[in-house]
Chains A and B, each alone.
Chain A
Amino acid sequence: MGNKILIVDDEPSIIVPLQFLMEQNGYETMVAFSGEEAMETITSNPPDLILLDIMLPIIDGFEVCQRVRERPEWNHIRIIMITAMGSEANIAKGLALGADAYIAKPFSNAAVVEKVKELLQQKDEKK
Chain B
Amino acid sequence: MKKSNIFWLFAFASFAFTILVIASLAFLFWQQLPPTDRALVVRLARQYIGYIFSAAVFLLAGLGFGLDWLFRLYILPLDKLAEETRLIHSVNPSHRIHLEGSRDIVRLVDIINEAADQYETLNNRLNSEIQRARAEADEEKNILAAVMAELPEGVLICNTEGQILLYNKRARRYLIGEIGSLESSDVSPGRFIGLGRSVFGVIDKHLIVHALDEIARKLKCEDTDIASYFVTMGADNRLLRVEAAPLLDHHRRFTGFILIFHDITLQMESGSQLNALLRSLGRGTRASLASIRAAIEAIIEYPKMDSGQLQKFEEIIHGETINIGRIIDEATSTHFGSLRSYWPLTQMNARDMLAATAKKAAETLNLEIQTEDVGEDLWLKVDSYAIISALTYVQKRLAQETGSRRLAYKMIREGRFVCFDITWEGKPIKPDTLRNWEDQVVTVNSQSLSSTLKEIIEQHAAEIWSHAYKDSRKAYLRLLLPVAESAENGRIRNLTILPKSRPEFFDFDLFSQPGQRPELDHRLLSELAYTVFDTETTGLNPQGGDEILSIGAVRIVNNRILHEECFDQLIDPRRQIPEESIRIHGILPEMVSGQPPIEKTLPSFHRFTEDTILVAHNAAFDMRMLQLKENLSGVQFSNPVLDTMLLSAAVQPGQKNHDMEGIAARLGISIVGRHTALGDALVTAEIFLKLVPLLEKQGITTLRQARTASRKTYYARLKY
Q: Is A114 an interface residue (CB 8 A)?
A: no
Among the 9-residue stretches A5-13, A20-28, A44-52, A91-99, the one with 4 or more Cβ atoms under 8 Å from chain B is A91-99
Residues of chain B contacted by A70 (CB below 8 angstroms): 468
Cα distance A16–B513 when bound, in Å? Answer: 88
Inter-chain contact count A-B, CB under 8 Å? 43
Q: Contact mask A92-127 → B, CB, 8 Å, 1/0? A: 110011100000001000000000000000000000
Question: Could you say which of A67, A86, A98 contacts B431, with CB atoms under 8 Å apart?
Answer: A67
How many angstroms between the C-alpha atoms of A87 and B417 in the bound complex? 12
Choose the segment among B171-179, B209-217, B396-404, B459-467 that binds chain A (4+ C-beta atoms closer than 8 Å). Answer: B459-467
In the complex, B384 has a CB within 8 A of chain A: no
Is the CB of B703 closer than 8 A to any CB of chain A? Answer: no
Bound form: Cα–Cα A81–B182 in Å = 50
Q: Does B658 contact A (CB under 8 A)?
A: no
Verify A63–B478 contact, CB threshold 8 A. Answer: no
B145 CB, min distance to chain A CBs, angstroms:
41
Contact of B431 with A90 in the complex, beta carbons under 8 Å: no
Whether a CB of chain B sits under 8 angstroms from the CB of A1 is no
Flag A28-70 by CB within 8 Å of B: 1 or 0 each.
0000000000000000000000000000000100110011001
Asked if B480 CB lies within 8 Å of chain A CBs, one says yes
Q: Assess whether B467 is in contact with A92, with CB atoms less than 8 Å apart.
A: no
User: Considering the complex, which residues of chain B in the window 445-479 have a beta carbon less than 8 Å from any beta carbon of chain A?
Assistant: 461-463, 465, 467-468, 478
Cβ of B586 within 8 Å of any chain A Cβ, yes or no, is no
- Which partner residue on chain B sits nearest A84 by CB separation? B328
* B325, CB-defined interface residue at 8 Å: yes
Residues of A within 8 A of B256 (CB): none
Q: Which residues of B contact A62 (CB under 8 A)?
A: 431, 465
Q: What residues on B are CB-neighbors of A92 within 8 Å?
A: 414-415, 417, 463, 480
The reply to whether B467 and A89 contact each other, CB–CB distance below 8 Å, is: no
Contact, CB under 8 Å: B467 / A88: no
| Chain A positions within 8 Å of B467 at CB level | 66, 96-98
A96–B478 contact, CB under 8 A? yes
Q: A89 with B431: in contact, given A96-B467, A96-B478, A106-B325 (CB under 8 Å)?
A: no
CB pair A89–B478 under 8 Å, yes or no, is no
A70 to B482, CA, bound (A): 27
- Quote the shortest CB–CB distance from A96 to chain B (angstroms): 7
User: Please, which residues of chain B bring their CB within 8 A of the CB of A97?
Assistant: 465, 467
B416 on interface, CB distance cutoff 8 Å: yes
Q: Is B519 part of the contact surface with A, judged by Cβ < 8 Å?
A: no
Report B55 CB to chain A, min CB distance, Å. 111
Contact partners of B705 in chain A: CB under 8 A:
none
Min CB gap B475→A, angstroms: 11
Do B431 and A93 have beta carbons less than 8 Å apart?
no
**Using Cβ atoms and an 8 Å threshold, which residues of chain A touch B465?**
62, 66, 93, 96-97
Listed in ascending order, the chain B residues whose CB lies under 8 Å from chain A are 321, 324-325, 328, 332, 414-417, 431-432, 435, 461-463, 465, 467-468, 478, 480, 482
Query: Can you give 5 A-B contacts (C-beta < 8 A)?
Result: A62-B431, A62-B465, A63-B432, A92-B415, A92-B463
Given contact pairs A88-B416, A89-B461, A98-B467, a sample of 20 additional A-B residue pairs in the complex whose CB atoms are under 8 Å apart: A59-B431, A63-B431, A63-B432, A63-B435, A66-B431, A66-B465, A67-B431, A89-B463, A89-B480, A92-B415, A92-B417, A93-B463, A93-B465, A93-B480, A96-B465, A96-B478, A97-B465, A97-B467, A106-B321, A106-B325
Top 3 nearest A-B pairs by Cβ distance? A63-B431, A106-B325, A93-B463
